[in-house]
Amino acid sequence: MIEIIDIGLLATLQGKPYRGKRHLGMPLSGPADPISMAIANKLVGNAYDAVSIEYSILGGIIKAHSDIVIGLAGPIETITINRNGAEIDCDHYNSISILREDILFIKPLREGAHIYLSVQGGFEADHHWAGNSTYLPAKIGGYSGRALRHGDCLKYKQIQQRENMDSIPKCYRLTYSNQHILRICAENGELERYLSRHIWHIGRQSSRIGYELTNKSVKKLDMSTDEHYDGLSRAVFAGTIQYPPNGNPFLLGVDAQTTGGYPIIGHVIRADRHIMGQIKSGDSLRFIIQKPHEARRVYENKLNMWRNYIPSLLLD
């Protein structure tokens, strides 16, 4: 069992997303950065979507109540273990053995937004619609549908611990930054220029639901004369870029709604949506235009590359 000592800014259990339920108003949800979570699970021999703890920005602290093996992935600065009063530094590119009564400290992040902690066997979580991730707006999945709190004790599936420790090959070690580049498809040439010719800044409205994009020097778009923007609600997805009346584009995240009436001016390509999970307030963002046929090829190549390391991985 693992006890939550400190959740940092926010900590939730994330695992299998909710596929095929958008017609019921249920978004995909799941981990904000599925590749980082898959790496953490790979380190401990789990399936790529085994339930893990997702920490946001400020790190966190846990205490082990039994001997366990964990995997960590994401934009990690420093990990230390307090063992009998002594501080031990950990290499997060390897699986880590934690002894009973050890306290693990994950320090706040300087770059990126989410860190994943996986335990050998995977954490137990509530299931709904074949998914088990925490979706806070509906209060389902994860740990009773809510964010983790100080004092929560998390159970995991007991399996025989392996003797061999795993390590992340150098070619699969991700780099993280506060300056992001996302490839997008835009609705037309005017919107391609509008989105790609400026550096955008991530505003205060930044969460798993989405990210406000700001740039005070960019003139507002006039959407009133375009026949496509009639105010009717349309399907939206993680990666959809909406254009609200205030003139600040809004990039929808993994927990965003399934429909919306704001004009849609672009979409992040499927291959880059995992990068969105490391965006936070104060970061900068640039868009690169991609044609739809190119986006499909990029996605297939990226998926094939990662499946050489993590078989059966899905990038929704």
Q: Which domains does the chain have, with CATH numbers?
A: 2-172 (no CATH), 179-307 (2.40.100.10)
- Per-residue pLDDT band for 159 (boundaries 50, 70, 90) equals confident
Residues 6+ apart with CB under 8 A from 9: 56, 57, 58
Res. 229: pLDDT tops 60: yes
- Per-residue pLDDT band for 96 (boundaries 50, 70, 90) equals very high
- Per-residue pLDDT band for 161 (boundaries 50, 70, 90) equals low
pLDDT averaged over the chain?
93
Question: How far out from the chain centre does Cα 16 lie?
Answer: 13
Mean pLDDT confidence for 170-178: 94
- Give 175-192 pLDDT, tens digit per residue: 999 999 999 999 889 999
C-alpha dihedral, 8 to 47 to 294 to 213, nearest 10°: -10
* pLDDT above 90 coverage of the chain, percent: 83
- Give me the pLDDT at residue 162, please: 61
Q: What is the number of alpha carbons within 13 Å of residue 180 lying toward its C-beta?
A: 28
β-pairing, 103-106 with 60-64?
A: antiparallel
- Give me the pLDDT at residue 17, please: 96
Report the C-alpha gap between 110 and 177 in whole angstroms. Answer: 9
Mean pLDDT confidence for 281-306: 96
- Give 102-157 pLDDT, tens digit per residue: 999 999 999 999 999 999 999 999 999 889 999 999 999 999 999 999 999 999 98
Q: Which residue has the higher pLDDT, 4 or 228?
A: 4
- Give me the pLDDT at residue 305, please: 96
Report the C-alpha gap between 262 and 252 in whole angstroms. Answer: 12
Res. 51: pLDDT tops 90: yes
Report the C-alpha gap between 243 and 220 in whole angstroms. Answer: 10
- Give 55-89 pLDDT, tens digit per residue: 999 999 999 999 999 999 999 988 899 998 898 98
Answer for the pair 206, 256: CB distance below 8 angstroms, yes or no: no
Q: What is the pTM of this model?
A: 0.94
- Give me the pLDDT at residue 227, please: 58
Mean pLDDT confidence for 199-218: 94
- Give me the pLDDT at residue 77, please: 82
Res. 230: pLDDT tops 80: no
E-assigned strand segments in 120-233: 153-154, 179-186, 200-206, 210-214
Q: Which residue has the higher pLDDT, 134 or 226?
A: 134
Beta bridge partners of 4: 62
- Give me the pLDDT at residue 286, please: 98
- Give me the pLDDT at residue 91, please: 86
DSSP the chain: -EEEEE-TTEEEEE-S--TT-GGGT----S-SSHHHHHHHHHHTT--TT--EEEEESS-EEEEESS-EEEEEESS---EEEEETTEEEE--TTB-EEE-TT-EEEEPPPSS-SEEEEEETT-B--B-BTTB---BGGGTBSBBTTB---TT-EE-B---PPPSSPPB--GGG-----SEEEEEEEESSHHHHHHHHSS-EEEEEEESSSEEEEE-TTSPPP--TT-TT--S--EE--TTEEE--TTS--EEE-TT--SEE-SPEEEEE-GGGHHHHTT--TT-EEEEEE--HHHHHHHHHHHHHHHHTTSTT----
Report the C-alpha gap between 304 and 302 in whole angstroms. Answer: 5
Report the C-alpha gap between 214 and 222 in whole angstroms. Answer: 17
